[in-house]
Structure 1
Amino acid sequence: MTDSVNSILSQIRSYQNQLGSPRALEPMQNPNAVQFGQPGVQAPGATGAASFGDTLQNALKGVNDAQKNAGALAQAFELGDPRADLARVMVASQQSQVAFRATVEVRNRLVQAYQDVMNMPL
């Protein structure tokens, strides 16, 4: 089980690095959005290291932002925006799909870990 957790963590870290790269159609992004994987991003008013809840919340916001970006690119492509070519739309769509699948997998692992702990004999 430890190997599978390490594998998922390495996949999440590689996804964090990918989201750190410039995205297509920069003007469509929300400049105030919290980006997934930004070092030092903490909840407002938090001091010290970010808690697990804050880290998870930032990760979910990152997935949400990726899905919004993919939707905005698809809409721009449908409206005929010359900056939104099919390749960018497909890449953004695949990135958001991978992010969502990773989020669901992490959720499943957390639920399984919780069930394992709850089923431990005292």
Structure 2
Amino acid sequence: MDLRISSPTTTPLAGIGQARRIATPPIDNNGPGFATALKGALQSVSAAQNHSTSLQREVQMENPAVSLEETMVAIQKAQVGFQAALHVRNRMVQAYTDIMNMQV
């Protein structure tokens, strides 16, 4: 929120208490927003976890078309993606907590 003090006189502090809100520009809802990007990232992490789970199942069933190396790489990718999502979530919760604890 941007507040400015309008003073009709040239005396300093004469306009105290006459704060007004500056008009904010309209929000552009056409482009992808933060919520859309976050949803896409979470869906990507979920897809990686599902893929690694299916590869694990195939290795356990001794499917010759699926290699152990490919499965291990998929598991590591899913784990790294999950850890990144977890860190983003923790940072967002911390930012929310910090903002809610600010005194106005």
After TM superposition, the score normalised by the length of structure 1 is: 0.59
Question: RCO greater where, 1 or 2, for CA within 8 Å and sep 6 or more?
Answer: 1
Q: How well do the aligned residues superpose, as a CA RMSD in angstroms?
A: 1.2
1:109 counterpart residue number: 91
Q: Does 1:76 align with 2:42?
A: no
2:74 counterpart residue number: 92
CA distance in 1, matches of 2:31, 2:100: 28
What letter matches 1:118 in structure 2? M
Higher helix share: 1
After TM superposition, the score normalised by the length of structure 2 is: 0.69
CA distance in 1, matches of 2:83, 2:65: 28
Higher strand share: 2
1:66 counterpart residue number: 48
SS at match of 1:48: coil
CA distance in 2, matches of 1:77, 1:84: 6
Deviations 1:6-58 (A, max 9, x none): xxxxxxxxxxxxxxxxxxxxxxxxxxxxxxxxxxxxxxxxx721121111111
Q: How many residues align?
A: 76
Instruction: Report the CA distance between 1:98 and its aligned residue.
Output: 0.8
CA distance in 2, matches of 1:83, 1:111: 43
Larger radius of gyration: 2
SS at match of 1:120: coil
User: Structure 1 segments of 4 or more deviating over 3 A?
Assistant: none
CA distance in 2, matches of 1:58, 1:83: 30
